[in-house]
Amino acid sequence: MLFGFYMANKYLTKNFTVDELKCRGTGICDMSPSFLERLQLIRDDFGRPLNPSSGFRAPEWNEKVSSTGRTGPHTTGHAVDIQIFGAEALELIKIAQAHGITGIGFKLHGPREKRFIHLDDLTAPHPRPNSWSYT
């Protein structure tokens, strides 16, 4: 179980903290335990730190920051955006797919600090597998 020991130290997993995955608008961190386990396995296989730029989003916050409104992937606790660029992005995508990630969004243009890969493991009714790019 991920939460027992790690929550006492504000860690959700060995490598991911509440602060980096909580909603930027509300401070709520309602990440799915199964998604966190998957994310940690991805991190373990990647072998380097991953820098989340967005994790859980409360519906009211998601409505303000995303075109997906109050029901986007981040509102389920089954999605994360990872800041990454270059060859590492392709490596991360391959590892994520091997661990059952079914939704992958790409924003790999613009300033480096604004580039990211969206990862989620949603299933029906969301069409999966799915990939997209952000403008």
Residue 126's domain spans which residues? 27-133
Decide if pLDDT at 135 tops 90: no
Which residues contact residue 47 at a Cβ distance below 8 angstroms, ignoring those fewer than 6 apart? Answer: none
Asked whether residue 129 is domain-assigned, the answer is yes
What integer is the mean pLDDT of 104-129?
92
Average pLDDT, the chain: 92
Decide if pLDDT at 92 tops 90: yes
Structural contact between residues 104 and 121, judged by C-beta atoms closer than 8 angstroms:
no
What integer is the mean pLDDT of 60-64?
98
Count of domains observed in the chain: 1
Indicate which CATH number applies to the domain containing 96.
3.30.1380.10
- pTM value is 0.91
Structural contact between residues 26 and 60, judged by C-beta atoms closer than 8 angstroms:
yes
Decide if pLDDT at 115 tops 50: yes
Distance CA 29, CA 130 (A): 25
Distance CA 54, CA 102 (A): 18
Asked whether residue 95 is domain-assigned, the answer is yes
pLDDT one-digit tens code per residue, 6-52: 454 599 999 999 999 999 999 999 999 999 999 999 999 999 999 99
